[in-house]
Amino acid sequence: MLFFLGVLVVAAGVALSIALHEIGHLVPAKKFGVKVTQYMVGFGPTVWSRRKGETEYGIKAIPLGGYVRMIGMLPPRPGDEPGQLRRVSTGRFSQMADQARADSMEEVRPGDEDRVFYKLAPWKKIVVMMGGPLMNLLIAAVLLTGVITLYGLPQIAPKVGALSTCVPTAAPTLQVPQPKCQPGDPQAPSVQGGLKVGDRFLSVNGQPVTSWDQVSAAIRDSHGAPLTFVVERDGAKQTLVVHPAVLDRASYDAQGNAVTKDGRLVLESMGFLGVVPGQELVKTPIAQAPKFVWDQTVNTAGVLVKIPQKMAGIVQAAFGSGARDPNGPISVVGVGRIGGEVAAMDIPANEGGNWLKLAQLVLLIASLNLALFVFNLIPLLPLDGGHVAGALWEWVKKGWARVRHLPDPGFVDVAKGLPIAYGMSVVLIGMSVLLIYADIVKPISLFG
């Protein structure tokens, strides 16, 4: 039941995000006088619609997108204007563009000639087309800011989150850089020294500590010498003396990658206690929220840039024995599944309970909106970024003509990019179908 509820919450969040994206296009288009004939959430057969004024508002059966239909999206080709001779094209791509222009102009009724999209000033075109992606960015910014400032994010704290049961004596290898416990391995020093889950470190060898990095550095550099910890347990201070073990373990660079040389791990001697750090919720000051949103946007862009190379792994996982990359792309089906798993998690009240699950669902919807924002900025039709690129080029051409006192070069013919748009549409549909199939037969799970 909780799983189904989580799926519904994510589905509602996706639908609302799409609806607001299209409102981001609708409002400025109407403000600038463009005639908008349809505002639809979804694709396929119409489930419900109602006409208000000149615009039909509705919901369609397949909730995988939406659209706002504005008249005159494509300019007429030179020669189609009244009083001018029309050039005839026989090329396949030219005929494709001509047909698209004709379909676009069919919606223009007498009296609507100056309410077409293509006659807008370039900056107005940019505002209309950027309205959708910017709406997604605004949604993500509001949700992220709300979570990190009002609820907080889990951060590593100087406290005991878990204890290792032993000192793993197996030698690290490139395949297994972090060996696990084996039968016969000695008991972990943390257990022998009396540490317990929930203990908060206050000082090490008389030096106050406020971060896990300080505790970890003291353990690593101990070289087996006894460590005196002052910890807070159940509101009271306790002093514990723990004798770390000394192990040869893999070293890591600043990016968290194991350091190798000649195909082997580079090992270093370090103290070992057997403590896994705990986490606690830390609220972020609202002044730092813009930087957090920016960092998340940059990270999202980095993931999207790598999608083409990750699709090969998706194919291997969906049709072979390959494993899914937990950091790889997923479809709306995968997002819904993760939302269900979050809702179904059994989280004790003292660790966040339902509030933590709600925060995770909100972050999931925020991440989806960031992905929509970045994805729609790609400067290719049929994405919003393709129309923005055309408007920017038109702005440059007109500006250059004014500076040089040349005739107005006219409107940029974005219809010439339709072959690319159709090709992109085929690619996007193919990727969506593949991701949905992979999320059904080999889904990414929070629990591995």
Tell me: pLDDT of 82 over 60. Answer: no
Spatial separation of the C-alpha atoms in residues 40 and 278, rounded to whole Å = 47
User: Quick one: which of 367, 390, 402, 418 has its CA closest to 101?
Assistant: 418
Spatial separation of the C-alpha atoms in residues 204 and 72, rounded to whole Å = 72
Q: Is residue 408 part of a domain?
A: yes
Tell me: pLDDT of 447 over 70. Answer: no
Note if 22 is an active site residue: yes
Q: Does 242 lie in the same domain as 136?
A: no
Q: Is residue 51 part of a domain?
A: no
* Structural domain for 178, as ranges: 155-282
Which residue do the tokens 């997108």 mark?
65
- Each residue's pLDDT tens digit, 9-51: 888 888 899 999 999 999 999 999 999 999 999 888 899 999 9
37 Cβ contact list (under 8 Å, min separation 6): 54, 55, 56, 69, 70, 71, 107
Q: Does 370 lie in the same domain as 445?
A: yes
Helix axis angle, 289-305 to 307-319, nearest 10°:
60
44 Cβ contact list (under 8 Å, min separation 6): 60, 61, 62
- Each residue's pLDDT tens digit, 57-69: 999 888 778 889 8
**Residue 270 vs residue 82, higher pLDDT:** 270
Q: Does 133 lie in the same domain as 17?
A: yes
SS3 content of the chain, % helix, strand, coil (to 5): 45, 20, 30
Q: Does 164 lie in the same domain as 139?
A: no
Q: In 193-227, which positions are buried (b, 16+ CB within 10 angstroms) versus exposed (e)?
A: bebeeebbbbbbeeeebeebeebbebbbebeeeeb
Q: Does 170 lie in the same domain as 137?
A: no
Q: Is residue 81 part of a domain?
A: no
Q: Does 315 lie in the same domain as 202?
A: no
Please provide the average confidence, as pLDDT, over all residues in the chain.
83
Q: What is the mean pLDDT of residues 97-101?
A: 63
How do strand 200-204 and strand 207-208 relate by DSSP bridges? Answer: antiparallel
Pair 185, 169: CB distance under 8 Å: yes
Q: Does 187 lie in the same domain as 315?
A: no
Q: Is residue 322 part of a domain?
A: yes
pLDDT for 339 equals 83
Task: Report angle CA 63, 64, 67 to the nearest 5 degrees.
Answer: 90
Domain count within the chain = 2
Pair 125, 117: CB distance under 8 Å: yes
Q: Does 317 lie in the same domain as 219?
A: no
- Each residue's pLDDT tens digit, 367-376: 999 999 998 9
Which residue do the tokens 């709406």 mark?
135
pLDDT for 101 equals 66
Q: Does 426 lie in the same domain as 335?
A: yes
Helices (H) and strands (E) in the chain, counts: 11, 12
The last residue of a domain, from among 282, 317, 332: 282
Q: Does 141 lie in the same domain as 181?
A: no
Q: Does 357 lie in the same domain as 239?
A: no
The last residue of a domain, from among 282, 302, 319: 282
Spatial separation of the C-alpha atoms in residues 75 and 82, rounded to whole Å = 14
Assign residue 271 the CATH number of its domain.
Answer: 2.30.42.10
Which residue do the tokens 């999207």 mark?
304
The catalytic position among 22, 54, 81, 113 is 22
